[in-house]
Amino acid sequence: MTHPASAVAVPVRVKRPQPWYVQLWFQVLVAMVVGIALGHLYPNVGAEMQPLGDAFIKAIRVLIAPIIFCTVVHGISSMANMAKVGRVALKALIYFEVLTTIALIIGLVAVNIFRPGVGMNVDLAHLDTASVASYVQQTRNQTTAQFLLNIIPNTFVGAFAEGNVLQVLYIAVLCGFALSWVGERGKVLNQLIEASSQMLFRIVAIVMWAAPIGAFGAIAFTVGKFGTASLLSLGQLLITFYITCLIFIFGVLWPIAHWCGFSLLKLIRYIWEELLIVLATTSSEVVLPRMIAKLEDAGCEESVVGLVIPTGYSFNLDGTCLYLATAAVFLAQATNTPLAIEQQIGLLLVLLLASKGAAGVAGAAFVVLAATLASVGSVPVESVALILGVHRLMSEGLTPTNLIGNAVATIVVAKWEKAVDERRLQQALDGKASKGNLVQS
């Protein structure tokens, strides 16, 4: 049976062209350039700009949980076929596992080819390892069973108070099913949830006016505190990692997008503003609400977007997997630690599981790296202090990769489910459709 989204043409509003200098992407780009200049010329002043970036991230994060809840509940409760929810979730999880495994393999292969740590001959006795202990402790004792149990919140409101994406998603799926079974009596509540969702997206649009200020503060802090010295000392590692991210994007994601009938380059252009924001803030969470809105505006069904995007933020971290594989082997090379291919494969399997276990943990990629090395024991965990200073610089490669990967995943799963309006998708990627849930700046 043909899906309604493809059977009925939805009117698409044509957006009025705006001058380039008032568009968000340009304002964020200018703010980044100014922040880089400030951080480079006046490092101490640049480092003091951190509160600007942190405030912007907090202002967005406070909206993530309610937006996910409203989007998922309304999407599921509006669906006639409840079996589709489980089918979408299963397809998404299978896709996530395959792609993250490929990312880990590419990371391992690239770091063994480029060998950025060979010849560094780092003496662990000369490293300050005191700052590493707190990162290791966060996930040292977390097992798979504990991670799965943590998906269930202690209280209904606890998931919203802690901002745990998986817990909110769990509550939202239950509420969505329950509301759909209520039937006609639940229509009023469903309409209220939809109206609340629209209100929250408008709040996001208001907060996004501060995106250039947040980007300025975050990038000035990064360059001021970690920039020049870190780039010179560990430049080969950074170059290797950025090249690896590009290889994954254009060697894996591009063929997938081409196979599914859409252009990856056009998709990158469509989410260009979001990419600039995560590049500056090194946090992909800050654009999660906008990604939900943009993919819905591009014709993807609300229920699919609501399930795939939040789940992908925990299970489809392609850039994080590239980082973990690259950094782990780099540390072995830098400390002259023998790491046979069998040990690297074992490390890959551990990282595949561990990367899921740090969902919702601040600085998740670095935490997982430290905790994994501590549990495996083949590479000295103290060595992570070597890359503590450049972790944020590496995050500027892994967070955009995560974002692109989740955007591709959402469109792919929507196409598999025939839950995408092809006409709206092509118009959005061509820049001809207006933003429905996002207020024009």
3-state DSSP of 228-242: HHHHHHCHHHHHHHH
DSSP of 180-211, one letter per residue? HHHGGGGHHHHHHHHHHHHHHHHHHHHHGGGH
Beta strands in 63-135 (DSSP E): none
Tokens in use for 362? 């601040």
**Is residue 301's pLDDT more than 50?**
yes
pLDDT in tens, 304-334: 998 899 888 888 989 989 999 999 999 999 8
**Is residue 230's pLDDT more than 60?**
no
- Locate the domains of the chain by residue range: 19-429
b/e code 318-338 from CB counts within 10 Å (16+ = b): bbbbbbbbbbbbbbbbbbebe
Q: What are phi and psi of 155, to 5 degrees?
A: -135, 165
Q: Tell me, what's the pLDDT at 439?
A: 47
What percent of the chain has pLDDT above 70?
Answer: 84
pLDDT in tens, 57-105: 888 888 888 998 998 898 888 776 777 788 888 999 999 999 999 999 9
Range from 3-17, 278-292, 296-310, 364-378 carrying the lowest mean pLDDT: 3-17
The more confident residue out of 360 and 293 is 293
337: confidence class by pLDDT, cuts 50, 70, 90? confident
Considering the entire predicted model, what is its pTM?
A: 0.82
Q: Tell me, what's the pLDDT at 357?
A: 52
Residue of 235, 216, 273 lying closest to 25 (CA atoms): 273
- CATH code at 19-429: 1.10.3860.10
Q: 3-state class of 300 per DSSP?
A: strand
Q: Tell me, what's the pLDDT at 103?
A: 94
| CA-to-CA dists, residue 35 to 26, 52, 225, 324, angstroms | 14, 11, 12, 28
Q: Tell me, what's the pLDDT at 164?
A: 78
**pLDDT, mean over the chain:** 83
